[in-house]
Chain A
Amino acid sequence: MSDLVASSLDMTFSAPNGESVHALQNVNFTLKEGELLSVLGPSGCGKTTLLNIIAGFLRPTGGSIKLNNTEIDGPGVERGMVFQQGALFEWLTVAENVNFGLRMKKNNKKETAAKVEEWLEIVGLQGFGETPTYQLSGGMQQRVALARCLINDPDLILMDEPLGALDALTREKMQSLVLKIWKETGKTIMIITHSVEEALLLGERLFVMAPRPGRLHKEYNLPFAEMGLQGDLREIKNDPQFVSNREEILSMIWNMEEEIMGKSN
């Protein structure tokens, strides 16, 4: 039973000057083991806040969040993180980045080296172990970030717009990689994105969030991730159901943004 259960999560930021932002309101969901969830929503609707709460970087102001029936209290190795960019340790080589978690645990060096080799191969970076990370391209850096997170064998992988800064081609390759890892490891994955296509492609489940206050707006169960495991991603994008889902969500988000504009005017 390694489910992630959020019940009536509430998050209010209060600034020293007395103003407060209601970032999350009454968020309820359950994420079962092995599920692949993508979260979509206009900018500022609380996606990162939600992820940070799950990661343990933030404590919610209300409600509870449990993983494996234990309340989340602070960051932990059982929840791995992948960030948009810049979270690699640029003073270390690829291998040193990847084995960072194991080094912190003071694991056996030989075993660690073997594991690093293994994971580098999975993410397609075999032979790059000794390369300094600052010499890598953006796509390769994200592969390192993935390997660094996965080598710790977390129960839950949290990704905050991991592919946001990549060019279209690299992005597509990385999407396949994420799906491949999901399939091969059977991990629970929660991935935040601002791209509707990506959310549809990578989400077995998809939450659309609405802003002000941030809340879950709509939930979808989608077949495309399963399809993506077998077929070509580009073919899926032309699937009629994919197209109609995409248009529906796009207009939903469009309307939300319109509303925000209206409110602020």
Chain B
Amino acid sequence: MTAGDGARGTRDSSARGNPRGATEARARPRGGQAVGIDLGTSNSVVAVIDKDGAPRILTTPEGSTTMPSLVWFSPDGPVVGELARAGLDYSPDLTIFGAKRLLGRRFDHPEIRRLSRVLPFELVEAPNGDTWIALSAGRSVSPEEVCALILREIRHIAEDHYGEPVTRAVITIPAWYDAAQRQATKDAAQIAGLTVVRLLSEPTAASLGHGAHRGADRRYLVCDLGGGTFDVAAVDVQAGIFEVLATTGDAFLGGDDVDRAVVDNLIRDVRSARGFDITSDTIAVERLRLAAQNTKHELSDVAVSKVYVPELVQLPSGRAVEYQKPMRRDELEQWSSSLIRRIEAPIREALRRCGRKREDIEEVLLVGGMTRMPVVRREIARVTGREPHVIPNPEEVVAVGAALEVARLEGAIEGVLLIDVAARGLAVSLGGDCEQVIAQSSVVPTREHRVFGTRHDDQLRIEFDVWEGESPDPAQNRLLSRYAVLDLPPAPAGDVLVLVEMTIDTDGTVRLGASELVSGERLQLEQLYHAGLARTDVLRLQRQFAETP
């Protein structure tokens, strides 16, 4: 009940009227400030709402509004953000980028398999099947810890701004994040010493960050293409009510993939032009990737540029070999065309889910650094049939939305309400097929129930699995957790009926309760399996993080 943690005792006498303007922030209910954080695959951004109600993006010590989501496990300890770029150059195997894509993911996921072949650092399987990152000397870290290091850095930036402790945050997440990924994000925040007031989906945050300033009532389609993920949301804004009708996306589509496609082509070019293969030289590949990314950015503004790596490899003689190749925008577009094609499906799916035709959309919002690429804009324009709205700060608007959400939940902004739907359905199974319990697109919070009967005489417990997804086939869904209902009264088969109630609350968290159907007596539920870090590990890491500066 994150909402319940909110502002106790700050009573507001002013009427709702002022839907979009922010009234002055009142005294904080508890010690510590709260901030809005966009924890991105490539860049993280932190924003606050100033006393006058205006959103403010905080800057890193280097003066930038975005901080690279990079952690370099240097010999002197972890280095985070801009300074960690140095690590990319010299020890790419210890410099972790894109940890967000690994959060809450099982190691046997096909996309993780694919990533593990191309990433410069090594992925390993944790004992519970999660994906972890192997560092040198047999040490491995969870993606939660890596994200916690980033979040802690952000917390420090915010504390420098406020001059007092920052203890709470709204953190944005991709819309399609499942429960395990949500939990992993919360765990990362807890390790970093932050309580998550709410997890907010990125496109929703973008519409809040965009719409709340302008006060425009529209039917929006938000397309957020960032470093690692593509998110789409259909959001209706009317009189301060943000109604999310559908959220879809592609978990493994982003700028990183484009960079990799370019690098693959460049490696081939190195081989044919220079005659050597750098595929297994992680340092060379990483340098090529950084140069290619730079060139990609330049090609958003100009039609021709070049890839330049001053020191690609060192020959046995010790001489450094530089690499230089002119690159045209159309080449870039051709190399990334198979990725660009994947933009269409999530947009169509979002429209289908909200029962809209593309003409019904009134504005298409572009969010995320990758939407600066002309071909991305063209493709979105083609699929949606309208010229998208280009906002000046596509990398920052998500964080602004998160900060507004903080203000909204704490009562500093009146009259704004956010209504969301379940991005995925919930199903249960008793060893066989999955049976749908909560349908996708149900308005949250919501609750449904299922009844299980005992199958043999004197059965003392019933075990069942909870899945996320819509398919009757368990293999198509994602296993959330396994539960056991304990201490059933002994009785003939089928005589004991267990009522299991599932609730999805406002931020997508799933809760369960069990009772005996006829008597209504509560039964004990034990969780036998769940993904992610164990509670004890989170607490241990949290202590550990608090001790080391």
Asked if A and B bind, the verdict is no
